[in-house]
A and B are shown apart, each in its own frame.
Chain A
């Protein structure tokens, strides 16, 4: 295109990915959020308050745990687990909800809405909303409500209203549509707490910034324990928040990174959620990024045994990191993830979430038999209690 319309200034791009593809009604709210966030980012009192809640409420820093018995399964390999499962509410999601709800307070919003898949983001949102005294509505696909029943009950106990979403595939994608529709209708008094590094600018940047504490701590902890940086980082990728949180502080270092997507029943079937591996770029939920879609651009249903990875989209920064080659995106199946879950539980006495088990399962698929010792950090993004019913169902 040779001509340029100089008055148009698009923003929030990671290479060609990202941007803002939302109804006009939301533009003012996104501008307001962007300004508030940029201010908070450089506001030491906001950052101090954020860090204090992370420490005293969420329980940070989380340990970097040397998994000795798991490491012994590989030659010349030291595996460390970043224990996000020990965060209050059981997953990394709370890092982000604390940050966003502090912003909601700053913006004088009265009402919090969120979408949730596994229920972990919903629980984290309901938890912080309770603590800070907000009304909270969580949208959740009815299929997810059935397979994550305990989290539904938890949200209700916390005082949140869980609204079942029956449209489309009745999972995270549809819950997100419905949350956005609610936001369009109630934009003046409502703050939308998005649960991953997806959506329109500034969400992907902002959520990443709230989650990068994972990588910052890891860096400090590994230097203390090993006196050097890790060789390899591994994390699961749903929307991509726990992985970008771990990766981001290492992007300029000589560290290999693997983002593990859910291959469901296999990436050569139609039953998977391997968006970066099998998708094509397009627009969903407000940003331009890789998507599972058919030739007409209709969004395809995703499948994963883990509700938190069962999403046909992915954050735009991951699309950028894929195309630049900086991060390698791979996938593991439902069965591989389940086996990794059982193995870690028995070997280390740690019961990981099904999502995180995808990252663990990839260890087996890496060539970890080099002559030189390798240090690997796996992000254990959450704990497995919520998945008990799924696992017991077999």
Chain B
């Protein structure tokens, strides 16, 4: 058990839905990551996801492509992200999940990566370009350090694969709401509902958290009955982009609080 599993289990006992918020590390400025994390926490998020910027993020839409690009220009690196996590751990015990592409892990050294996760207080890892078939070594290395390996399932995932993903995921299963890349969208589609109903029937072990395209309180309300929690990223990045530097933290806190209300009321 780590912070992530403990948190999700206690939420489940309280019959509450999890709110996971994604922020690209180092965006929009290096020195903003910590204040934004504090704002996200204050707004009532349960899980913090920090994005590891990659030059070629092929599972991401324009919003996260942009934030990744800006963060790289700001000089973010994986080592700096681990320092950020260490600093967060001086004031917060929220579960922290890193989301990044396979090449970032390989270049850092995957064994060293999980050792650093353990040392700095990371609880889980999401790698959008690592399908389960290629993940054997990563799963074993993560397990050794008690880091959750969160796999993604999508509407095109067969029932048989859903079982396999459930078997090997720890923490939660990340349900991709649509066939598509990350990015805020206008509506929750009927495809999403169908997929979540199917997943709920098959997935036994893991909580289901839904991400990709979830952007508003209305989305949260509409979807909460079909899952154990939601993940919001692009909508938050867009909000940060639109905010004046002075108002950024306040806007982020209010936005997260609104999502929280959507899930709780």
Interface residue ranges, A against B (CB under 8 Å)? 1, 3-5, 7-11, 19-29, 167-168, 173-174, 177, 180-181, 184-188, 281-286, 291, 293, 295-299
Contact = CB atoms under 8 A, between A and B. Distances in A.
Given A27-B157, A27-B161, A8 B135 contact: yes
Interface string B132-162: 1111110110000000000111111110010
> Considering residues A9, A23, A27, which has the most beta carbons from chain B within 10 angstroms of its beta carbon?
A23
Query: How large, as a class, is the contact surface on chain B?
Result: 35 or more
Given A5-B139, A23-B152, A28-B157, 20 more contacts: A11-B133, A20-B131, A20-B133, A23-B129, A24-B128, A24-B154, A24-B157, A27-B156, A28-B156, A173-B56, A177-B58, A180-B58, A184-B59, A187-B179, A283-B101, A284-B56, A284-B103, A293-B103, A297-B103, A298-B72
24 contacts: A4-B136, A5-B139, A7-B167, A9-B133, A10-B133, A21-B102, A23-B152, A23-B154, A23-B176, A24-B153, A24-B154, A25-B156, A25-B176, A27-B131, A29-B156, A177-B56, A185-B179, A283-B102, A283-B103, A284-B103, A296-B108, A297-B54, A297-B104, A298-B55
B56 A181 contact: no
A184 B179 contact: yes
A367 B46 CA distance: 67
B103 A285 contact: no
Given A1-B140, A24-B154, A291-B103, A283 B58 contact: no
Interface in B48-70: 54-59, 61, 65, 69
B130 interface: yes
Interface in B88-132: 101-108, 128-132
Contacts of A293: 103, 107
Contacts of B153: 24
A299 B72 CA distance: 12
A214 to B, nearest CB: 30
> Considering residues B58, B59, B102, which has the most beta carbons from chain A within 10 angstroms of its beta carbon?
B58
A181 B106 contact: no
Contacts of B105: 297
B58 A168 contact: no
A28 B154 CA distance: 10
> Considering residues A4, A281, A298, which has the most beta carbons from chain B within 10 angstroms of its beta carbon?
A298
B104 A296 contact: yes
B106 A282 contact: yes
Contacts of A7: 164, 167-168
Contacts of B151: 24
Given A1-B140, A5-B136, A24-B176, A299 B131 contact: no
A314 to B, nearest CB: 15
A184 B102 contact: no
A181 B179 contact: no
Contacts of B72: 298
Contacts of B34: none
A11 B158 CA distance: 18
A69 B36 CA distance: 70
Interface in B28-60: 54-59
Contacts of A10: 133-134, 136
Nearest to B181: A181
A21 B134 contact: yes
A291 B77 CA distance: 19
Contacts of A20: 131, 133-134
Contact of A8 (B58, B132, B156, B157): B132
Nearest to A180: B58
B41 to A, nearest CB: 28
A296 B158 contact: no
Nearest to A7: B164
Contacts of B178: 185
B143 to A, nearest CB: 9
A3 B56 CA distance: 32
A21 B129 contact: yes
A25 B178 CA distance: 9
